[in-house]
Structure 1
Amino acid sequence: MTANANLFAALRAAFPADLDATAVETDDELRYSWRDLDRASAMLANLLDSLDLPAGSRIAVQVDKSVEAMLLYLAVLRAGHVFLPLNTAYQSAEIEYFVRNAEPAVVVCSPKNFGWVSKIAFQAGTRNVFTLGDDRTGSLLDRAAVQSDVHQAVQRQADDLAAILYTSGTTGRSKGAMLTHGNLLSNAQVLKDYWGWTEGDVLVHALPIFHVHGLFVAIHGALLNGSRILWHARFDPKRVIADLPRATVFMGVPTLYVRMLAEAALTKEQCASMRLFIAGSAPLLPETFNAWRERTGHTILERYGMSETIMLTSNPYRTKDGERRPGTVGFPLPGVGLRVCNDQDREVAQGEIGGIQVKGPNVFKGYWRMPEKTAEEFTKDGWFKTGDVGKIDDRGYVHIVGRSKDLIISGGYNVYPAEIEGYINEMPGVAESALVGVPHPDFGEVGVAVVVPKAGAQVQADAVVAALKSRLANFKIPKKCFVVPELPRNTMGKVQKNLLREQHRDLFR
């Protein structure tokens, strides 16, 4: 028999020899040993086996963050099924779409949502609906409690599906990105080496686990290294900072870093044991990058990835590989091909802006039940079109300029929002900004700037536009500017530009 390519088998093989050592320690003082992780995931896998599900069934999960939710993920891999994590913010219309589209054999939801979720699931033909609370309650654990705590991981090939992640669906219906055991394991192994994971590392985990960042990058990183996890059910800057002296690695979205910088307890002394701070899922402002280095003595490592590919690029961890540069996402990871192309899929010259295309063992298998969409997103020579717009500078660092769908074409000229936002963010009193395109009768589309001032600062919309006029070509200047208390964000901290576009779409009509 060939070696088992089941991702769980690789994670389990990396458990330390001492299975009674602490694997996970929660913010409410619960401790789980490596033996607990092995036994509990076996019991959950045996429960799934007992349901006589078709091979490779989808298991849809919308629950609050808990160690048990992570164990369910491991159990789904172990039993050879396909994990389908769903954002806890999704409401009934969204859940109905996902359930009808993915046709899961099992749905697991929070106890408080069982009434409406089970109704949707049963009507769509799902036969098994369980509950799982963040306090170790629910029918899932009750049913698993009587199962054996021994389980042999199901044989899987590297190309077999391990997970489906639905994209945020800011343009049209969400698409289910199909990730294989090979996609996930290859990326985890590359990151283990590239980010210098070492014996004794301890991870502070304060991210959601329905997303690539928290579920795959963070959890796979710690488990593949046999590292202890300090588990935070939700992000509280004070509690995370209090845990830093016991940890070495932290992963967060930029918003988390901004919130920690607002705490007086964040000092160089508090971060003395830390080895690495990693940021991703949304752009990190150079101001945050510099403020963090000044306060803590640590330089944040920014990286870039997406649901369809897991991680693609990273600023260097080791000094010999280069410096960590603000405003960039570093170099393509080992084994990842990355090129910047024009609309004809031809590479542009160095420093020129174009669409980012990638290739490698981490790139997904395609979109669930969308063969035409999958074909559209790959070039004839097999490169995946990420939808991100960027450039590669003369030192090989990748810069993300924006999403292709955020590109503004005004009077026939291309306007890249990230460029204009960069200038606005440097202005006195500005905390952050977003530029979106809205319909215009003369130009087809024009930019509208939405600006958030720093606490206590006064920012005038007219002054922002006037300052830009002295620095940029006229076609790049926003036709309107609004000053607001905050920008709309999703749960991963990304600015929801689709909401801003919708809000201002009738400005010039």
Structure 2
Amino acid sequence: MNANIYKLFRERFPEDGKTPFLIPTEGAPLLYGDLDRRTARMAGRLCAHGVEKGGRVAAQVEKSPEAVLLYLACLRLGAVYLPLNTAYTADEVAYFLQDAEPRVFIRHPQELNQDAPPFEDIAVMKEDNLAAILYTSGTTGRSKGAMISHGNLSSNALTLHRIWGWREGDMLLHALPIHHVHGLFTALHCALLNGSSALFATKFDAAEVIALLPQATVMMGAPTYYARLLERPELTPGLCANMRLFISGSAPLRLETFAAFKTRTGHEILERYGMTEAGMIASNPLEGGRVAGTVGYPLPDVKARVDAETGVLEIAGPNVFKGYWRAPEKTDQAFRPGGWFITGDLAEISGDGRIAISGRATDMIISGGLNIYPKEVEDRLDLLSGVKESAVFGVAHPDLGEAACAAIAPDGTAEITEEAVRSALDGKLARFKIPKRVFLVDDMPRNAMGKTQKTKLRERYGGTFL
């Protein structure tokens, strides 16, 4: 049996090859009838550059139909796809390339060898063969590569396609980036399994999404997207008359956003919960009550429990990743016996099985759906002249959900200003990681053991953006 997820997708392609798969806001649609041929051509070009089954392909590419073809070609060939955020700096990318040692690093898919013969086969893969490596930073600030298998992707996609009630005629509105789980796996895989078309925006732009909504039936987005749509007076029940499902993830959905969206459109946003290492884990129900402030029930093939001592959510299921790339010790630390993965998220499970995420055991910040790990930013801050100590923490933000802020204790050897600190980080870190505010403090709040109390900093500066 061939467990290659591309084979599963191809079996679901519409018989009418004229059905569009991707409908970009600019340029010609990518038809299902052309999809198999074009992935074969792209896979052939990868072969010409020395990529074989099991070989790694790193890509830092702008969102486009060609970028999606590159991903699907890697699946078809049996290569391992490593998507990298286009916001990453050269220094950050250098680490990923050193760690992953890919056969090729691609910035512009169209520049691959155009004369190579197509790869017409579909590589035979087992369920536990790698399909992708997605980098997710650790609390130490050192990025880890989560190894995702074909079986992980297939099980998650089939489950989500079923529980979210995908049906004939569904049209996806896709305004997500395609370098992480939400946009690359969750959204595109559901559309492919359903043989559906996707309105394919290169980025989220509220005005553009407003213009596309009347054509769509399903939209997936980060909470920030819905908050920005609410700022548009055009958002009305009439505009959303064709919509059947709005899905939110990548960060907690604010209660105010949930309530305001229902009032304005008549739609209750379906909040779900996932992470790089496991894809989607839980979802509010398609039919029945969607409870604001909860992420719903574990998916049918996922088991969930909360550790009685730590309060941390642990999960097990076919969606859970294989481990961290070349990091066996970190992998061992992330699992308990029986295959239970320690998510690092603090949670409560109600009597009827609903999961509510109450916080994170780590200091990770989710800003606009993007993960920021304080240690990585602190390491950069501590290198600046005049900095004795730094602490990076998240505070509530009405648009981003959370915003990164930094507290700096100067050592008196050089003048420090907020503007100078932010400027010094520009080009060293992706822009979304640069603190939105920098506060100068005489001393850091500490506990009895001398550890910086970031909770005190969050309390002190919690109203900065509210």
- Measured against aligned partners, the alpha-carbon deviations of 1:365-394 in whole angstroms (never above 9, x if no partner) come to 000000111011111232010111111123
Residue 440 of structure 1, CA deviation = 2.6
1:326 aligned counterpart, secondary structure: coil
Alignment check: 8 A CA contact 2:82 2:132 kept: yes
Higher relative contact order (CA 8 A, sep 6+): 2
CA distance in structure 1 between the partners assigned to 2:335 and 2:38 by the alignment: 40
Residue 275 of structure 1, CA deviation = 0.8
Of 373, 382, 399, the residue aligned with 2:330 is 373
Equivalences for residues 228-307 of structure 1 within 5 A: 228-307=197-276
The question of 1:23 aligning with 2:18 is answered no
CA distance in structure 2 between the partners assigned to 1:483 and 1:404 by the alignment: 22
Which residue of 2 is the match for residue 81 of structure 1? 79
**CA shift in 2, pair 1:83/1:442, >3 Å:** closer
Residue 171 of structure 1, CA deviation = 3.1
CA distance in structure 2 between the partners assigned to 1:432 and 1:246 by the alignment: 28
The question of 1:204 aligning with 2:173 is answered yes
Alignment check: 8 A CA contact 2:218 2:244 kept: yes
The question of 1:139 aligning with 2:148 is answered no
Deviates more, 1:11-20 or 1:167-176: 167-176
**CA shift in 2, pair 1:435/1:86, >3 Å:** closer
**CA shift in 2, pair 1:58/1:442, >3 Å:** closer
Which residue of 2 is the match for residue 406 of structure 1? 363
Alignment check: 8 A CA contact 2:227 2:399 kept: no
Alignment check: 8 A CA contact 1:238 1:265 kept: no
The question of 1:384 aligning with 2:364 is answered no
**CA shift in 2, pair 1:372/1:195, >3 Å:** same
CA distance in structure 1 between the partners assigned to 2:84 and 2:203 by the alignment: 17
**CA shift in 2, pair 1:483/1:198, >3 Å:** same
- Measured against aligned partners, the alpha-carbon deviations of 1:208-255 in whole angstroms (never above 9, x if no partner) come to 000000000000010011000100011111111111111100000000
Which residue of 1 is the match for residue 136 of structure 2? 167
Matched residue type, 1:25: I
The question of 1:396 aligning with 2:353 is answered yes
CA distance in structure 1 between the partners assigned to 2:339 and 2:406 by the alignment: 31
Matched residue type, 2:96: F
Alignment check: 8 A CA contact 2:53 2:78 kept: yes
The question of 1:311 aligning with 2:276 is answered no
The question of 1:221 aligning with 2:190 is answered yes
Deviates more, 1:22-31 or 1:72-81: 22-31
1:100 aligned counterpart, secondary structure: helix
Residue 435 of structure 1, CA deviation = 10
Which residue of 2 is the match for residue 55 of structure 1? 53
**CA shift in 2, pair 1:200/1:431, >3 Å:** closer
**CA shift in 2, pair 1:260/1:51, >3 Å:** same
Of 327, 331, 337, the residue aligned with 2:303 is 337
Alignment check: 8 A CA contact 1:60 1:108 kept: yes
Alignment check: 8 A CA contact 2:335 2:341 kept: yes
Alignment check: 8 A CA contact 1:286 1:326 kept: yes
Equivalences for residues 341-490 of structure 1 within 5 A: 341-343=307-309, 354-406=311-363, 439-443=444-448, 444-446=451-453, 447-448=455-456, 478=459, 480-481=460-461, 483-485=463-465
Alignment check: 8 A CA contact 2:53 2:123 kept: no
Matched residue type, 1:223: L
**CA shift in 2, pair 1:433/1:150, >3 Å:** closer
Which residue of 1 is the match for residue 91 of structure 2? 93
Which residue of 2 is the match for residue 6 of structure 1? 4
CA distance in structure 2 between the partners assigned to 1:81 and 1:337 by the alignment: 30
Alignment check: 8 A CA contact 1:338 1:356 kept: yes
Which residue of 2 is the match for residue 43 of structure 1? 41
Residue 432 of structure 1, CA deviation = 6.3
Matched residue type, 1:66: S
**CA shift in 2, pair 1:80/1:432, >3 Å:** closer
Residue 54 of structure 1, CA deviation = 4.4
Equivalences for residues 63-74 of structure 1 within 5 A: 63-74=61-72
Alignment check: 8 A CA contact 2:146 2:277 kept: yes
**CA shift in 2, pair 1:18/1:291, >3 Å:** same
Residue 400 of structure 1, CA deviation = 0.6
- Measured against aligned partners, the alpha-carbon deviations of 1:317-344 in whole angstroms (never above 9, x if no partner) come to 122xxx101110000001100000034x
Residue 437 of structure 1, CA deviation = 11
CA distance in structure 1 between the partners assigned to 2:401 and 2:56 by the alignment: 40
2:336 aligned counterpart, secondary structure: coil
Stretches of structure 1 that go unaligned for 5 or more consecutive residues are 110-130, 133-137, 344-352, 408-419, 451-477, 487-509
CA distance in structure 2 between the partners assigned to 1:335 and 1:166 by the alignment: 25
**CA shift in 2, pair 1:267/1:100, >3 Å:** same
Alignment check: 8 A CA contact 1:244 1:270 kept: yes
Deviates more, 1:396-405 or 1:246-255: 396-405
Between Structure 1 and Structure 2, how many residues are aligned? Answer: 398
CA distance in structure 1 between the partners assigned to 2:75 and 2:401 by the alignment: 40
Stretches of structure 2 that go unaligned for 5 or more consecutive residues are 365-393, 408-443
CA distance in structure 1 between the partners assigned to 2:209 and 2:314 by the alignment: 36
- Measured against aligned partners, the alpha-carbon deviations of 1:239-294 in whole angstroms (never above 9, x if no partner) come to 11111111100000000101111011111000000010000000100000000000
Question: Aligned-pair RMSD on alpha carbons?
Answer: 2.4
